[in-house]
Structure 1
Amino acid sequence: MKNALITGATKGIGRAITIAFAKQGINVAICSRNREELSAFEAELKEINPQIVVAAIVADCSKREELKYFAEFTEKKLGFVEIIVNNVGMYRYSTILNDSDDSFQKQVDTNLMPAYELYRFFGKSMVSVGKGHIFNICSVAAINPIAEAGVYSVTKYALLGLNKVMRLEMQEHGVKVTAIIPGSTLTDSWKGQQVDETKMVNPEDIASAIITILNMSAGANVDEMIIKPAPGQL
Structure 2
Amino acid sequence: MNAIITGATKGMGRAIAFKLAEAGYNIIFCARNKQEIDTLCNDLMALNPSVSVQGLVSDCSDSLQVERFSGFVQQHFATVDVLINNVGVFIPASVLDEEEGNFQKQLQINYLTAYHLCRVFGRKMRDNRKGHIINICSVAAITPVVAAGSYSVTKAALLSLTKVLRQELMAHRVKVTAIHPGSTLTSSWEGTTIPPERFIAAADVADAVLCCLKMSVGANPDELLITPSEGNI
TM-score, reference length from structure 1: 0.97
CA distance in 2, matches of 1:168, 1:71: 23
Query: What is the 5 A alignment of 1:108-127?
Result: 108-127=107-126
CA distance in 2, matches of 1:20, 1:136: 16
**Aligned-partner residue type, residue 217 of structure 2:** A
Residue in structure 2 matched with residue 135 of structure 1 by the alignment = 134
**Aligned-partner residue type, residue 23 of structure 1:** E
Deviation at 1:97, TM superposition (A): 1.6
| Unpaired segments ≥5 residues, structure 1 | none
CA distance in 1, matches of 2:117, 2:144: 26
**Aligned-partner residue type, residue 30 of structure 2:** C
Deviations 1:144-191 (A, max 9, x none): 111111110111111111110010101110000000001111112222
Of the structure 1 ranges 66-75 and 177-186, higher mean CA displacement relative to structure 2 is found in 66-75
Residue in structure 1 matched with residue 207 of structure 2 by the alignment = 208
Task: Give the secondary-structure state (helix, strand or coil) at the position aligned to 1:135.
Answer: strand
Residue in structure 2 matched with residue 49 of structure 1 by the alignment = 48
Task: Give the secondary-structure state (helix, strand or coil) at the position aligned to 2:184.
Answer: coil
CA distance in 1, matches of 2:175, 2:61: 25
Residue in structure 2 matched with residue 226 of structure 1 by the alignment = 225
Is the 8 Å Cα contact of residues 55 and 78 (structure 1) preserved in structure 2?
Answer: no
CA distance in 1, matches of 2:168, 2:193: 43
Residue in structure 2 matched with residue 183 of structure 1 by the alignment = 182
Residue in structure 2 matched with residue 21 of structure 1 by the alignment = 20
CA distance in 2, matches of 1:30, 1:9: 6
**Aligned-partner residue type, residue 118 of structure 2:** Y
Task: Give the secondary-structure state (helix, strand or coil) at the position aligned to 1:112.
Answer: helix
Deviation at 1:116, TM superposition (A): 0.4
**How many residue pairs get matched?**
233
Query: What is the 5 A alignment of 1:39-188?
Result: 39-188=38-187
CA distance in 2, matches of 1:75, 1:19: 22
Deviation at 1:79, TM superposition (A): 1.7
CA distance in 1, matches of 2:170, 2:39: 38
State the percentage of identical aligned residues. Answer: 45
CA distance in 1, matches of 2:88, 2:170: 26
Deviation at 1:62, TM superposition (A): 2.2
Deviation at 1:30, TM superposition (A): 1.1
Deviations 1:129-157 (A, max 9, x none): 10000000000011111111111011111
Deviation at 1:64, TM superposition (A): 1.4
**Aligned-partner residue type, residue 35 of structure 1:** K
| Unpaired segments ≥5 residues, structure 2 | none
CA distance in 2, matches of 1:57, 1:136: 20
TM-score, reference length from structure 2: 0.98
CA distance in 2, matches of 1:207, 1:34: 22
Deviations 1:190-222 (A, max 9, x none): 223332211211010011111111111100000
Deviation at 1:226, TM superposition (A): 0.1
Deviation at 1:77, TM superposition (A): 1.3
Is the 8 Å Cα contact of residues 62 and 110 (structure 1) preserved in structure 2?
Answer: yes
CA distance in 2, matches of 1:66, 1:79: 21
CA distance in 2, matches of 1:194, 1:146: 22
- 4+ aligned runs moved over 4 Å, structure 1: none
